[in-house]
Amino acid sequence: MKQYKVGIVGIGAVGGEIVKILRQRRFPAAEIRILARSARTEIINGESFEVQETTAEAFEGLDFALFAGTEGAKGASQQFGWDAVKRGVTVIDNGDDFRMDDRVPLVIPEVNADALKQHNGFIANPNCSTIIALMALAPLHRRVPIRRVIAATYQSVSGTGRSAVEELDLQARAYPETPPDGPRVYPHRIAFNLLPHIGGLKEESPGYTSEEVKLLNESRKILGAPDLKVSSTCVRVPVFQAHAEALFVEFAQPVDPADARAWLEAAPGVRVIDDVEQAQYPMPSLAEGGDDVLVGRIRRDSCLDNGLALFVVGDNIRKGAALNAIQIAETIVRLNQGK
């Protein structure tokens, strides 16, 4: 099998997880080259790496460059992404700089892998909450078109980064006292609290935050459904890892919950856990560290025409970011082998 030279830009939570998953899935990597703001040595999952400073020249000779979007790497793909493509590198970007760019496919391999058959060397990874939602919604949408989604998300602090994980840990240990330097990452205490505020407000969607607008726009692009209606409230919760989402879905025609359950059980990357009588349902503690998106609480929604309600949970660092990016690379490798 051909071996590939893989670059990773940013070595925060997502970048570190990318390294781990590349090894776990035995991706055919002849080289893993880590790029960050400064050169240094890093130990990742027990393996030592010599980190290089990110420069345009540092991408030379790579086959893939995975922009992790962490460690201050926001905007790194704007600075280096297209130049890397000119050097023959296939870029997979976890940031949001190019997700809605018409030149760039936005891909969840289990959902719209066909979009990778035509690309310009630059592919975008969707937002974590979008990936987790669509892993559950797409198998249903293929059977019966979805018209409307109302969502409430419960997003873990790891989605903000390592500093937010440390802040939750510090506040939880100090509670009910307040750490002397107070909240730094979030505007309010996150321990034993909920913050209905993820991202900044968007002028084009008054009252909605950037996280909520992403769920709308990205879902439309990935599903090829420009008229899909999505309204969400995105909430930061005091959970270290894994995002949960309550989804209320309106279909074009009635969908029996038993049929929906069967379609989801057959979907790759999805695991149904749905037995309330036995207290079996998706939870962050079950999803953390796993690759599958968990779906449960599948029932009729009496407030929507042809409605179903679902509860969905996925690890935001793995399937919501690192794993999805690697699956994109794996899909491209398979497509290239088939040429």
> Per-residue pLDDT averaged across 144-170, rounded?
96
- On whether the CB atoms of residues 130 and 211 are closer than 8 A, the answer is no
Instruction: Give residue 188's identity as a one-letter amino acid code.
Output: H
- Confidence band of 180 (pLDDT split at 50, 70, 90): confident
Active-site residue (options: 128, 141, 188, 234): 128
Q: Are 197 and 153 contacting, i.e. CB atoms less than 8 angstroms apart?
A: no
Residue 128 is a catalytic residue? yes
Catalytic annotation present for 197? no
Share of the chain above pLDDT 70, in %: 98
pTM score: 0.96
Instruction: Give the tokens for residue 114.
Output: 């066909």
Catalytic position from the list 119, 188, 243, 303: 243
pLDDT of residue 69: 75
Answer whether 8's CB lies under 8 Å from 18's CB: yes
* Domains of the chain, first to last: 4-125+321-337 (3.40.50.720), 130-316 (3.30.360.10)
Q: What pairs with residue 179 in β-bridges?
A: none
Question: Is the model's pLDDT at 74 over the cut of 80?
Answer: no
User: What is the pLDDT at residue 235?
Assistant: 98
Q: How far apart are CA 18 and CA 191, in angstroms?
A: 28
288-321 pLDDT, tens digit each: 999 999 999 999 999 999 999 999 999 999 999 9
Residue 14 and residue 128 in contact, taking contact as beta carbons nearer than 8 Å: no
Nearest Cα residue to 273 out of 254, 238, 298: 298
Residues 89 and 32: beta-carbon distance below 8 Å: no
- The neighbouring-strand residues paired with 40 are 51
Q: Are 93 and 125 in contact (CB under 8 A)?
A: yes
Find out whether 37 and 9 touch, Cβ atoms under 8 Å: no
Q: Which residues contact 153 (CB under 8 A, 6 or more apart)?
A: 129, 198, 211, 215, 232, 233, 234, 235, 243, 244, 245, 246
